[in-house]
Chains A and B, each alone.
Chain A
């Protein structure tokens, strides 16, 4: 067998991805799914380029395997799982335009106590693959750094009974254009928990494509966005209940001040035959001021019988009565506003199962709240 990288091995898929990108071009606001995130306008003349972005493994738990995708002769666990077909334009672009990236694996049954800390850095396109094998579990802390433009295509594969806690914190990056698609495949009895704390960028889009493929698979998504200045944050999710008795929950809380723009688009599809599925979806936004904007769009498509699905969305202002109550008890206005904002975000933060991660998110939010109030 000749020495071929994982990316070269999937040359066919890569060619198909390139064709898809060519056919569709860069996403822009007249494409419904990109209505609130005009990538073409944000990139302008520079376009998407064909630079390869970088990764940085800051902490690797003992027992995990790592593979650089640019290396020849990838192991079987990489070739088996890498570059699954995707209809997502930017995901296709990361495959078509990049020949680098990282693959990571938690072998069967392994449950490291320490987290995997992984950063995506630099401009360009990048592929990443994380495989959590049967019965294994992992805590992944994903870091994001500034770049004029970065597009990450992240594939996550959970084997039967596996579990992953994935936390991503995106700091406030005024000049960055960041796009990431996480395609997560969840096997029977496996649990994916994703939490996304974001402070916005010039354009920031996190897309989650979750496939609950085996019976009893679960996905729990939550996140908060706290936006000031002219920062933008777009969380777009698509959860597919492909098997029966699968569960998905989503809880997103957004606060936008100044000219901040918070977006949540969430589609849940319950496929034919996925009976006994249970899906809940909540998105709420608070707008501080006239120029802030929030767009919340939960959607449901149900093709199965006997399912429980609930969704709701609400945009509002800070409650005047609560604010008066706190102030009348001596709490200065700025502090009172901070308390109410923190309280508004708290239930989404409380979704983070890992204590250290939760405290980290809380601390980051508290610091940012001091700036907004």
Chain B
């Protein structure tokens, strides 16, 4: 589903990713772990198509198609979803209006008819319940005044609503207490399916206790320096990044 080959990415002329290669098949859950500044967020942004993240070498193919020149909205319509580390607050746009606009934009791009307000509301309500997202939250301006946990829950709600083929979760665990983490992880696990690929990006092993990956890649200095099964997370937790990164160097 996702084929990244020898990817080099520069931000404001500074190279952050330096030859990253990664392949994820449908139904698989992969984790990217790495210390601060290793390029984790850069990877998530370049996959979602954020401006200013320039691919200087290598390629990203999604479903066999080159993603490099695709605008973010086209990626979204084709099933790429990035749950962001810091969801932005947008005063003046209510959460429900945003959800409806996003959902219908994606549908339109795929050639499907718009859902009316009632149809969207029903769909959102059904998903919101399991994620403990209240009616009151949906009426508020997007992410404005939301706690860290509420913001992350809303990200997962969107993931459930848009039903992406490739979901990227960027530090979804950051800023969550253990109860919120469990709730979010349950939401994510509920979305695991044979058609859906997931890339879980995290600094800590903690999240991977709840979302158990098929494969773990360690990112350091803009490259994958180690790979392994889920047991690699435990080794990282016990010995620290220093040890693994040092060995690889």
Contacts and interface: CB of A to CB of B under 8 A. Distances in A.
A88 to B, nearest CB: 35
Contacts of B109: 330, 332
B69 to A, nearest CB: 14
B249 interface: no
Interface in B67-100: 71-73, 75-77, 82, 84, 87-88, 90-93, 98
A332 B104 CA distance: 11
A322 B77 CA distance: 18
Nearest to B47: A328
A340 B105 contact: no
Interface stretch (A203-211, A214-222, A343-351): A343-351
A328 B44 CA distance: 11
B82 A328 contact: yes
Best-buried of A320, A324, A339 by chain B (most CB within 10 Å):
A324
A327 B90 contact: no
B162 A325 contact: no
Interface stretch (B16-24, B48-56, B172-180): B48-56
A24 interface: no
Contacts of B102: 326, 329-331
A40 interface: no
B189 interface: no
Nearest to B91: A343
Contacts of B82: 328
A317 interface: no
Interface in A178-222: none
B73 A332 contact: yes
B147 interface: no
Contact of B101 (A335, A344, A345): A335
A85 B93 CA distance: 46
Contacts of B202: none
B147 to A, nearest CB: 18
Interface string A309-339: 0000000000111101111111111011001
A325 B105 contact: no
Q: Size class of A's contact patch?
A: 20 to 34
Nearest to A323: B51
B90 A343 contact: yes
Contacts of A331: 73, 101-102, 105
Contacts of B72: 324, 327-328
A111 B218 CA distance: 72
Given A329-B162, A330-B109, A339 B87 contact: no
Interface residues of B, number: 27
B88 A322 contact: yes
B92 A330 contact: no
Nearest to B103: A330
Contacts of A342: 92-93
Contacts of A344: 92
B101 A325 contact: no
Contacts of A336: 73
Interface in B129-184: 158, 162
A358 to B, nearest CB: 14
B215 to A, nearest CB: 25
Contacts of A339: 93, 98, 101
B105 A330 contact: yes
A133 B102 CA distance: 50
B101 A333 contact: no
B23 to A, nearest CB: 23
B90 A324 contact: no
A328 B105 contact: no
Contact of A324 (B51, B92, B158, B162): B51
Contacts of B106: 329-330
Most buried by B among A319, A329, A332, A342: A329
Interface of B: 48-51, 71-73, 75-77, 82, 84, 87-88, 90-93, 98, 101-103, 105-106, 109, 158, 162
Interface of A: 319-322, 324-333, 335-336, 339-340, 342-347
In order of increasing CB-CB distance, the 7 nearest A-B pairs are A343-B92, A330-B76, A330-B106, A329-B102, A327-B72, A346-B92, A330-B105
Given A322-B90, A340-B90, A346-B92, 18 more contacts: A325-B84, A326-B98, A326-B102, A327-B49, A327-B72, A327-B76, A328-B50, A328-B84, A330-B73, A330-B76, A330-B105, A330-B106, A339-B98, A339-B101, A340-B93, A342-B92, A342-B93, A347-B91
5 contacts: A326-B90, A327-B73, A329-B105, A339-B93, A340-B90
